């Protein structure tokens, strides 16, 4: 039987080794502009899922991506000041997708950060499970979709209002 563990904590309480692996996974995902340890260290919370002590899935609460509200993206300037944080950096290694690891990470992060409006952006593809995870957790898509500057996908802005 495989041992599955989750660690949810602030970056200062996550080991440098685990943060380097978190960074490697962000790089492998290929959906974050200039992923760095500095960006990881600016997060409010990091969540790691390990299977047999190997990190296979990640997620975070991080400072919002302010530009997602701009007119050339979601065009939602009216909501810009309602959000300061973002659910992001969610990624599961391909050999482990479809097993609920990202859903569990999102739930842990949302439980820890439940009293704040949150935003998230993700690709608008039929096979993107993150869209379903966000919707299941009371995020709704707002604004117009936009083309990614990193990859060929189309992105959508998802918002969760709690206040």
Contact 70, 77 (CB under 8 A): yes
Domain count of the chain?
1
CATH number of the domain where residue 98 is located: 3.40.630.30
Question: Is the pLDDT score of 148 beyond 80?
Answer: yes
Mention every residue, 6+ apart, whose C-beta is less than 8 A from residue 6: 47, 48, 49, 50, 104, 105, 108
Neighbour tally for 112: CB within 10 Å: 13
Q: What is the mean pLDDT of residues 24-46?
A: 96
CA pair distance 89, 86, nearest whole angstrom: 9
Question: Is the pLDDT score of 43 beyond 80?
Answer: yes
Residue 71 belongs to domain spanning: 4-160
Pick the closest to residue 79 from 88, 69, 87 (CA basis).
69
Over the stretch 62-104, which tens digit does the pLDDT of each residue have? Answer: 999 999 999 999 999 999 999 999 999 999 999 999 999 999 9
pTM for this model (two decimals): 0.96
Mention every residue, 6+ apart, whose C-beta is less than 8 A from residue 15: none
- How much is the pLDDT for 152? 85
């Amino acid at each position: 039987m495989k041992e599955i563990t989750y660690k949810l904590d602030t970056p200062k309480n996550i080991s440098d080794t685990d943060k380097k692996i978190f960074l490697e996974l962000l790089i492998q995902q290929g959906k974050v502009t200039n992923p760095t340890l500095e960006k990881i260290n600016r997060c409010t919370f990091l969540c790691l899922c390990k299977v047999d002590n190997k990190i296979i899935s990640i997620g975070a609460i991080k400072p919002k991506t302010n530009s997602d509200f701009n007119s050339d993206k979601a065009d939602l300037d009216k909501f810009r000041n309602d959000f300061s944080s973002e659910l992001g950096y969610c990624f599961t290694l391909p050999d482990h997708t479809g097993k609920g690891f990202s859903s569990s990470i999102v739930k842990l992060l949302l439980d820890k950060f439940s009293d704040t409006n949150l935003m998230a952006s993700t690709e608008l593809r039929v096979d993107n499970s993150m869209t379903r995870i966000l919707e299941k957790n009371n995020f709704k898509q707002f604004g117009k979709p936009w083309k990614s500057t990193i990859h060929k996908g189309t992105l959508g802005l998802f918002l969760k209002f709690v206040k």
